[in-house]
Amino acid sequence: MKVMVTGGAGFIGSHVVDLMLEAGHEVIVVDDLSTGRQSNLNPGAKFYQVDIRSPEMRDVFAEEHPEVISHHAAQMDVRRSMKEPLFDADVNILGSIKLLELAREFGTRKFIHISSGGAAYGEPIYLPCDEDHPVRPLCPYGASKYTFELYLYMYKENYGQDFTVLRYPNVYGPRQDPHGEAGVVAIFSGKMLQGLPVTINGTGEQVRDFVFVTDCARANLIALEKGAGQVYNLGFGIGTSINEIFQTLREITEYPQQADYGPAKAGETFRIYLDASRAKKELGWEPTFTLHQGLTKTVDYFKMAEMGMEK
């Protein structure tokens, strides 16, 4: 089938593109390269360098008529959303609605929306959070991701537009940007491999649900045919602290230094991990990479691709 992956030159989106192509699907990538990288693009996909908010998107739909959209294009930085909530809403809500309108107009069968399990629930009432947990985000990013989920429900009820929502945990792995503000595994790995100081924001006892990128990408492949009109958490269902991530990466990289500690960042949940039992039951999805396996693969990638070092 013909699948459009928005944000397909980005960290997670590019892995989705790879799996879709391996499965024999025709893939269209839409990415404005504001955060995505040309080097992440799979040559087997057709590429359009377009912002999802641009009028040019109509031309892309008219040319390609995608059957399914896997929507990864987003403003994905929690800290930027705190500083620039209008920009966050413009991309994640208005940009997504524009895409959804085009999907309806051009007869796209299904819309797979990448939402946030890490930011939408806010500070949990209970753990692990299942899909019925109240949504009480602490940052505009979490709010914008959840808001678009409501539009998908409305479009299904009013227009019959099929959808599946995947609420991602903290995703890490190869191609994650080690120079940005988001992605603690990539940031720590990059600094450790260069022998630079590593700063942990807050106490380091913040807890997250870390899942390797290939596992999350695989959920998109499954959602092409399953999960109609449903919302799914992805996750291990157990939490790992930032201090634990630091110590494990320290062992893998043989990093000799201890961490520095700085102030905590506003808008970030302290403890969150997700119950993905619905995804296991209805999609047949569960993580296959252990944390240590995933972290080792990530470090190996940065040694080769990012740092120019030998394994």
Prediction pTM value:
0.95
Element at 297 (helix H, strand E): helix 291-301
DSSP state, 268? -
Check residue 306 and give its pLDDT: 57
For the chain (311 residues), the mean pLDDT of every run of 10, in chain order, is 98 98 98 96 98 98 98 93 97 98 98 95 96 96 98 98 97 87 88 96 95 98 98 97 98 97 88 97 98 97 69 37
At 173, which amino acid appears? G
Tokens of 276: 């993905």
Q: Are residues 185 and 269 in the same domain?
A: yes
- The answer to whether position 134 is within a domain reads yes
Active site residues: 141
> Which residue range(s) make up the domain with 166?
2-171+212-233
CATH number of the domain encompassing residue 151: 3.40.50.720
DSSP state, 184? H
CA-wise closest residue to 295 among 217, 198, 183, 220: 183
Q: Are residues 223 and 162 in the same domain?
A: yes
Contacts of 192 by beta carbon, 8 Å cutoff, 6+ apart: 198, 249, 250, 253, 255
- The answer to whether position 280 is within a domain reads no
At 135, which amino acid appears? V
Helices of type H across 39-135: 56-64, 78-83, 85-89, 96-105
Residue 298 CA to residue 56 CA, distance in Å, equals 36
217 three-state secondary structure: helix
Contacts of 163 by beta carbon, 8 Å cutoff, 6+ apart: 110, 111, 112, 113, 152, 153, 155, 156, 228, 229
Check residue 111 and give its pLDDT: 98
Check residue 310 and give its pLDDT: 41
How many structural domains does the chain have? 2
